[in-house]
């Protein structure tokens, strides 16, 4: 894997491993990628670890419609009505502008990775 692409994946794996918005499955997958690459940095090992990470990430980034539904529902109880309404307005605007996925740290990193490897369109 070229250094630029490796750095791209590594940066996003770091985000996925640490983001509060990442699920435990996503955190574990990102950590497993980092561990595998550290143990064996050969191109074959990096490619295999990256494929495994991408396989786990597929279907994980929340769609913009999923975010909107969340903000129209349980978010008011979690964040308060005013915060939920502001977040909803932001996401509705993003959808209008063509956004397809959530823009939280975890979803952004996952969708960028999946797009980079041709698994989704942004």
DSSP character at residue 19: -
Tens of pLDDT, residue by residue over 35-77, are: 999 999 899 999 999 999 999 999 999 999 999 999 999 999 9
The overall longest dimension of the chain from CA atoms, in Å, is 51
- Whole-model pTM: value is 0.91
Mean pLDDT of 13-23: 96
Q: With pLDDT > 70 as the criterion, what percentage of the chain qualifies?
A: 100
- In 3D space, the residue among 39, 17, 18, 37 whose CA is nearest the CA of residue 29 turns out to be 17
- pLDDT category of residue 20 using cuts at 50, 70 and 90: very high
pLDDT of residue 41: 87
Domain parsing of the chain, residue ranges: 3-61+105-116, 64-96
């Amino acid at each position: 894997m070229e250094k630029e692409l490796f750095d791209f994946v590594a940066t996003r794996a770091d985000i996925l491993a640490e983001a509060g918005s990442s699920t435990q499955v996503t955190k574990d997958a990102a950590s497993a990628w980092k561990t595998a690459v550290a143990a064996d940095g050969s191109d074959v090992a990096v490619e295999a670890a990256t494929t495994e990470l991408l396989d786990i990430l597929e279907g994980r980034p929340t769609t913009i419609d999923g975010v909107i539904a969340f903000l129209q529902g349980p978010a008011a109880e979690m964040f308060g009505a005013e915060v939920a309404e502001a977040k909803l307005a932001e996401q509705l605007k993003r959808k209008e502008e063509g956004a397809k996925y959530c823009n939280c740290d975890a979803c952004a990193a996952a969708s960028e990775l999946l797009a980079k490897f041709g698994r989704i369109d942004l």
